[in-house]
Amino acid sequence: MSLESIKYTRGSLEILDQLLLPLQTRYVKVKGVEDGWKVINKMQVRGAPAIAIVGCLSLAVELERDNNSDKKIMRQEIEGKLNYLVSARPTAVNIKLAADELINLANTLSADESVTPEDFKERFISRIEGMLIKDIEDNKAIGRYGCEAILKTLEGDGPVRILTHCNTGSLATAGYGTALGVIRSLQETKRLDHVYCTETRPYNQGARLTAYELVHEKIPSTLIVDSVVSALMNTRRISAVVVGADRVAANGDTANKIGTYQIAITAKHHGVPFYVAAPLTSIDMALTSGDKIKIEERPDREMTHVGEHRIAAPGINCWNPSFDVTPAALITGIITEKGVFAPDKLSEIDSK
Ligand code: MRU
């Protein structure tokens, strides 16, 4: 059974505290929007799809308790709370797109006189609950398309060796995962020989979370420090790199965990295909290119300390951008639930 990062039933939400993994498994109650903002901002839950789902579910649990019977006030409060949730972390677009969709829904329900306040609440909460199911379905489709694309580019039936970065699995989504979903699909075909995952400094999503998921799923895998990537590609035949995304611009430029860009450069140098696995909820067609993506900068302490222990020299300045942007020219394909697209062909998704 895969890991359960989000436990939700109507009126109740708990998330697996990812700050404590892999050493402790503890769930944190999220009682409403204030808690939702905090767990996202502190990165107790992280990963672009999971941020959006937990943010919206935190609103759903708050709304379930709310006895407001004025639709206009409900609409207004919903808009304010969604905009607040979006401010918790700025780079991933999924929560912004979900908020826009839900604000539209609230506007429609509020304007429709045939909709009672009870219907409003029911339909609004149901829409949010639907996100949990859809994300898992989308991830499974991403897994299938990615697996097909990678197997097609390989000569013969040789071993498949994948490199991935950060964490894109069950912990970062509603379940199954995006890039890790592709890895799971490859594992199901019995063609997967080995997965390499980077530590992903400074927050160590690779060492703490991806390694945990790979071990849990019994997928043959090896952890490498981030600076080993070039040596890995030079000495072992890597079939493909597959990473996730926090925001893909309309031209295919992709913001993902810091370090992704340098992996893409190395992959280009070594002729290794470089795939981004991302649901449509990570694609921001309103941004023409990656230089317009706001990159979150995280506190110095994530770099200077491991847990309570300082590892960096006191007094040193730090720069800790949480994401970088990989130019479209370095990306072989973007794997979505609608198929695999060349980065300059994202506009064709709508016709699928
Ligand atoms: O800072 P994080 O841990 O939220 O960053 C996560 C990533 O960069 C993931 O690769 C991305 O969100 C895709 S998760 C399916």
- Comma-separated ranges of CATH 3.40.50.10470 domains in the chain: 155-351
**Measured from the CB, is residue 282 less than 6 Å from ligand 1?**
no
> How far apart are alpha carbons 302 and 299 in whole angstroms?
6
CB 265 within 8 A of CB 300: no
User: Could you read off the pLDDT of 89-115 as tens digits, one per residue?
Assistant: 999 999 999 999 999 999 999 999 999
Please give the model's pTM, rounded to 2 decimal places.
0.97
- Among 226, 254, 257, say which to mutate for ligand 1: greatest number of ligand atoms within 8 Å of CB: 257
Q: Give the residue ranges of the chain where pLDDT is below 50.
A: none
Residue 110 Cα to ligand 1 middle (Å)? 34
Q: Whose CA is nearest to atom 10 of ligand 1?
A: 244
Sign of CA dihedral 252, 335, 42, 203: negative
CB 163 within 8 A of CB 238: yes
User: Could you read off the pLDDT of 295-328 as tens digits, one per residue?
Assistant: 999 999 999 999 899 999 999 999 999 999 999 9
**Measured from the CB, is residue 210 less than 6 Å from ligand 1?**
no
Please give the structure tokens belonging to residue 31: 């009682």
**Measured from the CB, is residue 138 less than 6 Å from ligand 1?**
no
> How far apart are alpha carbons 279 and 133 in whole angstroms?
13
Residue that has been written with the tokens 């604000």 in this structure: 103
CB 157 within 8 A of CB 119: no
User: Could you read off the pLDDT of 251-302 as tens digits, one per residue?
Assistant: 999 999 999 999 999 999 999 999 999 999 999 999 999 999 999 999 999 9
**Measured from the CB, is residue 172 less than 6 Å from ligand 1?**
yes
- Comma-separated ranges of CATH 1.20.120.420 domains in the chain: 6-135
**Measured from the CB, is residue 205 less than 6 Å from ligand 1?**
yes
Catalytic residues: 246
Residue 283 Cα to ligand 1 middle (Å)? 14
Instruction: Give the pLDDT confidence score for residue 158 in this predicted structure.
Output: 83
Instruction: Give the pLDDT confidence score for residue 101 in this predicted structure.
Output: 98
Residue 114 Cα to ligand 1 middle (Å)? 41
CB 161 within 8 A of CB 196: yes
The CATH fold of domain 155-351: Rossmann fold (3.40.50)
Partners of 341 in the β-ladder: 334
Instruction: Give the pLDDT confidence score for residue 2 in this predicted structure.
Output: 66
The DSSP call for residue 286 is T
Instruction: Give the pLDDT confidence score for residue 154 in this predicted structure.
Output: 86
- Report the chain's C-alpha Rg in angstroms: 20
Instruction: Give the pLDDT confidence score for residue 350 in this predicted structure.
Output: 79
Residue 196 Cα to ligand 1 middle (Å)? 17
- 14: how many CB neighbours lie within 10 A of its CB? 16
CATH of 6-135, one of 1.10.10.10, 3.30.70.600, 1.20.120.420, 3.50.50.60: 1.20.120.420
